[in-house]
Every structure is written in structure tokens, then in C-alpha cells.
């Protein structure tokens, strides 16, 4: 049975039993505790925890998931995959254990002809929590399972929670015996390769308290509403039904593996190490494609880094298999064909996905060449000194300077039998991040957020009543005042604190839009709003600076957004949508926004593209954007289902988990239609103007446009006009001829510079002969020295000319001291006879400069001294030459 059919049967079965079919959420998730959806229940978390009312009593989904904590195990075992799909059925206070167990047993064992999976009931084992006699009894009654195939386990295996205070409960897992060829007899406690887990049923009925790990925390009582959360591994069920050994060999991954083997000229199954690498390639290429499809772009932080790591591990595994060509253009199309039948968006977004992946492979090949050389040299040094560990500073240098990720350094060092000082590397990385965070906080003047205290406020008071789309002012009550170490009773003037209000008109930073600025005022307090964030889903946190009075929980305030700030923010966010639509109009649909940022008057937009845009293309994009403003296109907001939004061509660009309804912002109807939660103008003309200010590279295959809008846009154009006026005064003539006239001036300057350089070289050669003839005999070595006022390059050239003019049959050293703007530089070269005598240019420079400088034995230079010290430096050089001679 092919994997898409396994998927369809699951959804059809539960739809027939009253479950609403919910589409998979995108892999990126706004949950602050996660980078990606890592379990089927994640999109339903608000309904399971009770923070939001579920729109349906029961639901079913096949959710895309990513787990990378054990990425190093991918390919080595049959159970680890970085991308997987979780079939799930959920009940929100509707049915409980009996129906959940009955559904799982019926679907698993019902014949294929009747819409089931046709598993042999005599080969199914289950586990239950040791305290859950109800589940044991239900398995006996519903499935007729004997006691020996119902295994009791403890909290570590069969009691579920999210790891924090909240819902929890026992679970029951289903395993399938794949036969004695795959391991020992005795059930899942004996061998989980032979007995493969394929379904987990969570009976969510208790509330847990604070406590570490998976056990030892207190159970506070029963939940007001009992829920069901189940997860069937789609790949695992496909493995069972297709009769293959592991998830890398099912129909959605095996074609990628086979193509990789074909490219590398190896046979799967012939060599264990090659098999591991082929499985890594198959898993990672599929994972990367799904991440790219959902809008993740390779980067150095967070989600982008996970994708970058996965892509690079796939590329490197192909190189280790002996394939030196470009791998991703060969493998990604295979992955697309495997996944498109279940996820049509894979094919729709493929051009953009492939461009990003290809650019990343190009960049990584260059990084790999440079970084491998540096790493190999460092490893050789460690081994040469009898060491076994690469210093953390060296690993940090590879990461920070050469873009060599630490995981790659760890892998490559281990392959050569060397460990890495991971603690030293981590300390340097932590220090770098803390500096960056401190700088960011200093720029905003904001205090760090206390996550635990924020969660306590959310649990006690529920979500913030957010009114940013409706109004600029609200009458609000202070629910909590938080400092760096948690709640404070009162905050006084000049304090910077985090404030939670019961309702707020302030826009929290999201979707690329900067947070609002404004004021909080009350009977005894005034405060400036510095920053507004959503640190937890549903909770809005305001970081403020108190300018007068005292502030405490319970105070009633007037919260007011700065109207000018909000107008500028609306212009910038709508301007971003306009620029994005103009970009796609000129460059085509593959120029899809991959990131953006906007604040009042300014916006930037990143998009995948190879090569810089010409001035003509930039002009076309700017003109297309401003045509939309001149046409005064209407801006509309509409709520609809995600399916309706996609059908209408709306672009989902950001890391969102979508609910039953999504917000679609249109500018000129289908000309610009995007899912967006930001604030916008009513008509395009209110943006004023879109003026492009910069276009640059922000990574391999990624470009960035920057623009100003509104008053800032007009100010920018005015400054440009003034600048042209000033240049016209300096270069008289019609303005239209300015580019040609300036180009002519630059050409003349270039010709003059070239002629001056020629004259200097001729003078240098003439001077070199004089210096060589005047060389002093220092202990048998000819030493020619001089001091010039010139750059370091001219000093080096002159020294080489003097060296060449010295007699070749005698040891010779030429040294030129140069002074530039009060700084001294020393350049030294030696001839072959001097090298035979033991003279080294690098050692002479270091001796003369007190250890500074560098180069080779033949030529070296250094600085770090004042021009007034050059006579002393030349004297020290003379002494060093004499000492060797």
C-alpha cells in the first residue's frame, strides 16, 4: 500500500466517524518553545490545554513534523527520521478511552478491502501505564488481547505530559511484531526493532504541577474536560504495509536513496557505511524540500540553521560517497515527485525551493573547501603536539570566520580521531550571543522577559484582549508588573519593566512589522511604551519606561498608541505588500518574499534571486510599485478558511499556525493577496511614495531590497535632488549630462593614476640600483636600507627591486621602512644566498618590531610602530642581520 493511500485511509476512517479533517499546519510554528511542529498535537495545543475553545468536538489530521534532536542517529537506526508525518485523531471533551482504543484496533486490523490496514491481530502488542487498569481491561474486552501481550510500563514510557505544568495522563502504545528475523522474542520491552511502535494513544485526564523530567511531579487533580490525543506514525505504518525493513525504504524515500546510489556509483546493501550515508541523503533531501516548501530559508540562526545543517549534511554525505557533482539539482526533483501527490504545494513552490537549495549547495561547496583546509591543518597541529582535542577557540574560528557549523566540525574531527572542546566553543558562542542580546536590549532600552512569570499571568488571567486592528486607545487594567527576576509590587520613575494589561491597542511585533510606540497614563503614573511582544501565544507584553509616578498591579490606565507612529507603520507594511507584488510582476512568481521587516517610513524585503538586479530592473520594480499607488488601489481585509485563501491565490509567507479562519489582506484584489496579521492603510495612495534606497546580497542566492515610504520617502527624494544640485554646481552643465561628465572625469583621474604609478615604478627601479650599490656589509651580508613616504605596497615593491639589484653571489637583505600618516611599516626581503645562511625575512621583521609582523622566509612585513621609531627599527634590523652573519 503506497504511503498516500495509508494517509487517505486514516483520514477517511475518522471523517466517517464524525471527525473534522484539519489540514496540516506549516512546519514552522509560532510556539515560543519550538522551532518546528514536532508532534501531531502541537497545532491543537490551545484546545488541549484549555486556553482556547475548540471549534470542533473531534478532529483528525495528518501533520507534518520535524525532529532534529537526534539528527546524528539518522541513517544509523531504523527508527530515526528528521521529517515524518503523524496521523492523529483528537477528542476535546467528547469521547475518551473506550472509543479511542476501539478506533485504533478497528482501523489497524480491519481488512484492506473494508478500508482498514489489515494488520494481523495476533502480532499486535500494546503497552499501558502500570496504574491504568481501565485501559488494560478495555484492551482485553475490545481486542481480546491476552494479558501477556498487554505490557505494563512506568512513567518514562507510558505517562505523557508536555514537560511543564498542565495537562497530562497515561498513554497506551501499539506495537507490531515484525518477526524473528528482526530480533529477539518477548515483546517491546525486549526489542523495539522487531516490535515496532506504530500508534500512541494519550488519555489526557489530569493536571500536573511543577517538577523535573518525566516523573516525580505532583498530580494536582482531574482536568475539567478529558481529551484524547493520538499519533500514528505514517512512515512506520507504510513500513509495515510495504514489507520493507525501515522508513528509508518506503515509497516516499527509497527513490531518493536509489538516485543517490546511482549518482555515486554504489549499491545499497553492499556496505554498511555507504548505506548509512545513503539513508542520510534520502531523509535529509526530503526534509529539506518540505521545509523549503513551507517558506523556511537557509540561515545562521534558528529554523534557517536547522535547514542549512540538513542540506549540508546531505551534500557532504554525497561527497563522502564519492560524488563530486552538484547533488541537489539531481535529488530534489525526485523528492518532489515522491511528495507532491500528498502535498500539491510541493510542486507549486518547487522553483523557489530549488533555487534556494541550489544556492545553498553552491555556497557550501566553497565553505567546505576553505573550512576543510583550515580544519585539517588544525587537526594535524593537534596530532603533531600529541593532543586529542581541538581547542574551542579553533572551532569558534571555523564557525565565525569560515561559516563552518560546529556540528560539521564535530563530525569531521571525529572522523580523524580527534575530539572538540565543545565547552570552550559553547562558552565563546554564548558570550557572542549575550553581547548581541545586550546590544539589542540597549538599543530598545528594554529589560529581558521572565518567561515563567509570564506563563503564570497567562494561566491566571487568560489571553490578552487585543484591539490593535480596531482602535488606538483602550482603558486597561494592569494585571502584572514584571522585572528581570519576576513580579514586582510597584515600579517607580525611570524603571524599565514588563507590563501585562487586560486589553491593549498596541501592535505586538510580528510578521515583520515593528511594534507600536505610545504612552500609558493613569491617575498616578506616566510611561513610554518601548517594545511590545507576544512572548507566549495569546499574551501581549509591554516593555515600558516609567517617566513619572508609580505603577502597580490593579492600576487602571489609558493605553494610547502614537497615531503618527501607527500611520507610518501602516504605510510601511502596506508598502511591503505593494513592493512584493511589484517584484513578482517584474521578476516572476519565483521572486517570493522570504522575510521582511518594516517600521514607520522604512521597509526591507528579502527574496531568492541569483545575481544583483540591474539599475534598469530596479527602476522597473519601483515604477510598478508607484503605479499601484497612483491607481489608488483599494486595500481590503477578509477572514476566510485556509483552503479558501489558497484557492484564491493568497500567499502564506510567514511562520504561522493557522486556525479555522485566516486573515487575508488584498491590495487591488488578486494583484496582491497575502495572509497577514499586520496593520494597513485603507487605500494604496495613502502610502505616499515607494522609493528604493538599496539592493544587496544577504547570503547565497538571496537578495534584499530596501525602501522608504510616506514622508520619509519624500524626504529621501528631496535629499537626492539637493545632492544632484550640489554636484551640478561643481560640474557645470545640463543635469541630464551629469553621468557622462562625471564618467569622463573619473576616466581622466584613472589615467592620471596609472601614469603616476608608472613614473613611480621607474623612479623606484632607478632608486633601487642606487640603494643596492650603497648596501653596507654587515658580517658578510649586504644590507640595503632606506625610508620612504609611501604606502606599504610601494615599500614592498621597492624592497624587492633592491633585492634583485644586489649581487646574486652574495647574501643580501633589502629593507624599506615606510611612513604613512604618522605610522611606520617595515618591509624586508632576502635573496637565496641569505636564506642558505639562515636569514629569514619573517624572523628579521619580528626581531626588529618586537615580535610583530609576519610573512615567509623570503619576504615579510609588519607595523604597529610610530613613524618616529623607524630609525630605531632599522638599527634593530641591522643588529639582527649581524647576529646571524
721 plus 660 within the same structural domain: yes
Residue 551 falls within a domain, yes or no? Answer: yes
* pLDDT tens sequence across 264-277: 999 999 998 899 99
Q: Using the predicted structure, report yes or no on whether residue 198 has a pLDDT greater than 50.
A: yes
Residue 793 falls within a domain, yes or no? Answer: yes
**Beta strand 58-66 pairing with 496-501:** unpaired
Band of residue 214 on the pLDDT scale cut at 50, 70, 90: low
135 plus 32 within the same structural domain: yes
* pLDDT tens sequence across 528-552: 999 999 988 889 999 999 999 999 9
Q: What CATH number has the domain bearing residue 157?
A: 3.30.930.10
Mean pLDDT of 709-721: 91
**C-alpha cell belonging to residue 275:** 548505506
Q: Using the predicted structure, report yes or no on whether residue 245 has a pLDDT greater than 90.
A: no
100 plus 162 within the same structural domain: yes
Q: Using the predicted structure, report yes or no on whether residue 517 has a pLDDT greater than 90.
A: yes
By 3-state DSSP, what share of the chain in percent is helix, strand and coil, each rounded to 5?
45, 25, 30
**Taking the CB of residue 634, how many other CB atoms lie within 10 A of it?**
12
325 plus 377 within the same structural domain: yes
Least confident stretch, 310-319, 490-499, 642-651: 642-651
Mean pLDDT of 329-338: 96
Q: Using the predicted structure, report yes or no on whether residue 423 has a pLDDT greater than 80.
A: yes
Residue 647 falls within a domain, yes or no? Answer: yes
- Percent of the chain scoring above 90 in pLDDT: 51
**Beta strand 20-21 pairing with 58-66:** parallel
158 plus 263 within the same structural domain: no
Q: Using the predicted structure, report yes or no on whether residue 368 has a pLDDT greater than 80.
A: no
Q: Using the predicted structure, report yes or no on whether residue 400 has a pLDDT greater than 80.
A: no
266 neighbors 322 (Cβ within 8 angstroms) = yes
The reply, when asked if residue 573 is annotated as ligand binding, is: yes
Residue 733 falls within a domain, yes or no? Answer: no
Q: What CATH number has the domain bearing residue 862?
A: 3.10.310.40
Residue 748 falls within a domain, yes or no? Answer: no
Tell me the chain's radius of gyration from C-alpha atoms.
Answer: 34
323 plus 426 within the same structural domain: yes
Band of residue 11 on the pLDDT scale cut at 50, 70, 90: very high
Q: What CATH number has the domain bearing residue 714?
A: 3.30.980.10
Residue 566 falls within a domain, yes or no? Answer: no
The reply, when asked if residue 338 is annotated as ligand binding, is: no
Final residue belonging to a domain, choices 512, 539, 561: 561
* pLDDT tens sequence across 567-589: 999 999 999 999 999 999 998 87
- Percent of the chain scoring above 70 in pLDDT: 94
206 plus 350 within the same structural domain: no
Give the position of cell 498591579: 553
852 neighbors 863 (Cβ within 8 angstroms) = yes
Mean pLDDT of 643-654: 75
Q: Using the predicted structure, report yes or no on whether residue 335 has a pLDDT greater than 90.
A: yes
Residue 525 falls within a domain, yes or no? Answer: yes
Q: What is the C-alpha separation between 652 and 545, in angstroms, rounded?
A: 36
95 plus 192 within the same structural domain: yes
The reply, when asked if residue 680 is annotated as ligand binding, is: yes
56 plus 152 within the same structural domain: yes
Q: How many domains does the chain have?
A: 5
529 plus 584 within the same structural domain: no
Q: Using the predicted structure, report yes or no on whether residue 769 has a pLDDT greater than 60.
A: yes
Q: Using the predicted structure, report yes or no on whether residue 615 has a pLDDT greater than 70.
A: yes
509 plus 553 within the same structural domain: yes
Report pLDDT for 434.
Answer: 66
Q: Using the predicted structure, report yes or no on whether residue 521 has a pLDDT greater than 50.
A: yes
DSSP E strand boundaries for 31-95: 58-66, 83-92
Domain region containing 602: 575-726
Residue 445 falls within a domain, yes or no? Answer: no
Q: How far apart are the first and last CA of the chain?
A: 85
Mean pLDDT of 469-474: 94
138 plus 158 within the same structural domain: yes
Q: Using the predicted structure, report yes or no on whether residue 445 has a pLDDT greater than 50.
A: no
Final residue belonging to a domain, choices 197, 223, 245: 245
Final residue belonging to a domain, choices 185, 219, 245: 245
The reply, when asked if residue 577 is annotated as ligand binding, is: yes
Of the two residues 691 and 426, the one the predictor is more confident about is: 691
Amino acid at each position: 500500500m503506497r504511503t498516500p493511500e495509508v494517509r487517505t485511509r486514516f483520514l477517511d476512517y475518522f471523517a466517517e466517524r464524525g471527525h473534522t479533517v484539519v489540514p496540516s499546519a506549516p512546519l514552522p510554528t509560532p510556539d515560543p518553545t519550538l522551532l518546528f511542529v514536532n508532534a501531531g498535537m502541537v497545532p491543537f495545543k490551545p484546545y488541549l490545554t484549555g486556553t482556547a475553545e475548540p471549534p470542533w468536538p473531534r478532529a483528525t489530521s495528518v501533520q507534518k513534523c520535524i525532529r532534529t534532536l537526534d539528527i546524528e542517529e539518522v541513517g544509523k537506526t531504523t527508527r530515526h527520521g528528521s521529517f515524518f508525518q503523524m496521523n492523529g485523531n483528537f477528542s476535546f471533551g467528547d469521547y475518551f478511552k473506550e472509543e479511542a482504543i476501539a478506533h485504533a484496533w478497528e482501523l489497524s486490523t480491519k481488512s484492506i478491502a473494508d478500508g482498514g490496514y489489515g494488520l494481523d491481530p495476533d502480532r499486535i502488542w500494546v503497552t499501558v501505564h502500570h496504574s491504568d487498569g481501565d485501559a488494560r481491561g478495555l484492551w482485553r474486552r475490545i481486542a481480546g488481547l491476552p494479558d501477556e501481550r498487554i505490557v505494563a510500563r512506568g512513567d518514562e514510557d507510558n505517562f505523557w505530559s508536555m514537560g511543564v505544568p498542565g495537562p497530562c495522563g497515561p498513554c497506551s502504545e501499539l506495537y507490531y511484531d515484525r518477526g524473528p528475523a528482526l530480533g529477539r522474542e518477548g515483546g517491546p520491552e525486549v526489542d523495539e526493532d522487531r516490535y515496532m511502535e506504530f500508534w500512541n494513544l494519550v488519555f489526557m485526564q489530569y493536571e500536573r504541577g511543577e517538577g523535573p523530567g518525566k516523573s516525580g511531579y505532583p498530580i494536582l487533580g482531574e482536568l475539567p474536560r478529558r481529551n484524547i490525543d493520538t499519533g500514528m506514525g505514517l512512515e512506520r505504518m507504510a513500513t509495515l504495509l510495504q514489507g520493507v525493513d525501515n522508513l528509508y525504504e518506503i515509497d516516499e524515500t527509497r527513490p531518493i536513496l536509489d538516485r543517490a546510489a546511482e549518482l555515486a556509483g554504489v549499491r545499497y546493501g553492499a556496505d554498511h557505511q555507504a548505506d548509512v550515508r545513503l539513508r542520510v541523503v534520502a531523509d535529509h533531501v526530503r526534509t529539506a524540500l518540505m521545509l523549503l516548501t513551507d517558506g523556511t530559508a537557509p540561515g545562521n540562526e534558528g529554523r534557517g540553521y536547522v535547514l542549512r545543517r540538513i542540506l549540508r549534511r546531505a551534500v557532504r554525505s554525497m561527497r563522502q560517497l564519492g560524488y563530486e557533482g552538484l547533488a541537489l539539482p539531481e535529488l530534489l526533483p525526485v523528492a518532489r515527485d515522491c511528495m507532491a501527490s500528498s502535498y500539491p504545494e510541493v510542486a507549486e513552490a518547487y522553483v523557489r525551493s530549488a533555487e534556494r537549495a541550489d544556492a545553498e549547495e553552491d555556497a557550501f561547496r566553497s565553505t567546505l573547501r576553505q573550512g576543510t583546509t583550515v580544519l585539517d591543518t588544525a587537526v594535524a597541529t593537534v596530532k603533531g603536539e600529541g593532543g586529542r582535542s581541538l581547542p574551542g577557540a579553533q572551532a569558534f574560528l571555523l564557525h565565525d570566520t569560515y561559516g563552518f557549523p560546529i556540528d560539521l566540525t564535530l563530525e569531521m574531527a571525529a572522523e580523524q580521531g580527534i575530539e572538540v572542546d565543545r565547552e570552550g566553543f559553547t562558552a565563546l558562542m554564548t558570550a557572542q550571543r549575550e553581547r548581541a542580546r545586550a546590544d539589542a536590549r540597549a538599543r530598545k532600552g528594554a529589560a529581558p522577559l521572565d518567561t515563567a512569570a509570564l506563563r503564570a499571568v497567562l494561566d491566571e488571567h487568560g489571553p490578552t484582549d487585543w484591539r490593535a486592528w480596531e482602535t488606538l486607545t483602550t482603558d486597561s487594567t494592569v494585571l502584572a508588573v514584571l522585572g528581570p527576576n519576576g513580579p514586582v509590587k510597584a515600579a517607580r520613575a525611570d524603571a524599565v519593566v514588563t507590563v501585562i494589561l487586560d486589553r491593549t491597542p498596541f501592535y505586538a511585533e510580528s510578521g515583520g512589522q515593528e511594534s507600536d510606540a505610545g504612552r500609558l497614563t493613569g491617575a498616578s503614573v506616566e510611561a513610554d511604551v518601548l517594545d511590545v511582544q507576544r512572548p507566549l501565544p495569546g499574551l501581549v507584553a509591554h516593555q515600558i519606561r516609567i517617566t513619572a509616578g508609580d505603577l502597580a498591579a490593579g492600576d487602571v490606565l489609558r493605553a494610547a498608541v502614537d497615531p503618527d507612529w501607527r500611520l507610518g507603520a501602516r504605510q510601511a507594511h502596506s508598502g511591503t505588500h505593494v513592493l512584493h507584488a511589484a517584484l513578482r510582476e517584474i521578476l516572476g512568481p519565483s521572486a517570493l518574499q522570504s522575510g521582511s521587516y518594516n517600521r514607520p517610513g522604512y521597509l526591507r524585503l528579502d527574496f531568492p534571486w541569483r545575481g544583483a538586479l540591474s539599475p534598469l530592473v530596479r527602476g522597473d520594480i519601483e515604477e510598478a510599485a508607484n503605479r499601484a499607488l497612483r491607481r489608488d488601489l483599494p486595500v481590503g481585509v477578509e477572514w476566510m478558511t485556509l483552503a479558501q485563501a489558497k484557492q484564491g491565490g493568497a500567499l502564506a509567507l510567514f511562520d504561522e499556525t493557522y486556525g479555522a479562519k485566516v486573515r487575508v489582506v488584498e491590495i487591488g484584489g488578486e494583484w496582491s493577496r497575502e495572509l497577514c496579521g499586520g496593520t494597513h492603510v485603507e487605500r494604496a495612495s495613502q502610502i505616499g511614495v515607494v522609493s528604493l534606497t538599496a539592493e544587496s546580497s544577504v547570503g547565497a542566492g538571496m537578495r534584499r531590497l530596501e525602501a522608504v515610504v510616506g514622508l520619509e520617502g519624500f524626504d529621501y527624494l528631496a535629499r537626492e535632488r539637493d545632492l544632484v544640485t550640489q554636484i551640478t554646481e561643481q560640474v557645470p552643465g545640463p543635469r541630464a549630462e551629469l553621468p557622462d561628465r562625471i564618467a569622463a572625469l573619473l576616466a581622466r583621474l584613472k589615467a592620471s593614476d596609472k601614469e603616476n604609478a608608472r613614473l613611480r615604478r621607474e623612479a623606484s627601479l632607478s632608486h633601487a640600483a642606487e640603494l643596492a650599490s650603497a648596501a653596507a656589509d654587515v658580517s658578510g651580508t649586504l644590507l640595503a636600507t632606506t625610508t620612504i613616504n609611501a604606502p606599504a605596497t610601494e615599500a614592498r615593491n621597492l624592497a624587492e627591486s633592491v633585492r634583485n639589484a644586489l649581487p646574486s653571489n652574495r647574501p643580501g637583505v633589502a629593507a624599506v621602512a615606510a611612513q604613512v600618516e604618522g605610522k611606520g611599516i617595515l618591509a624586508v626581503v632576502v635573496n637565496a644566498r641569505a636564506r642558505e645562511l639562515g636569514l629569514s625575512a619573517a624572523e628579521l621583521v619580528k626581531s626588529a618590531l618586537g615580535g610583530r609582523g609576519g610573512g615567509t622566509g623570503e619576504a615579510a612585513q609588519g607595523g604597529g610602530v610610530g613613524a618616529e621609531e623607524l630609525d630605531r627599527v632599522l638599527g634593530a634590523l641591522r643588529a639582527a642581520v649581524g647576529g646571524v652573519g
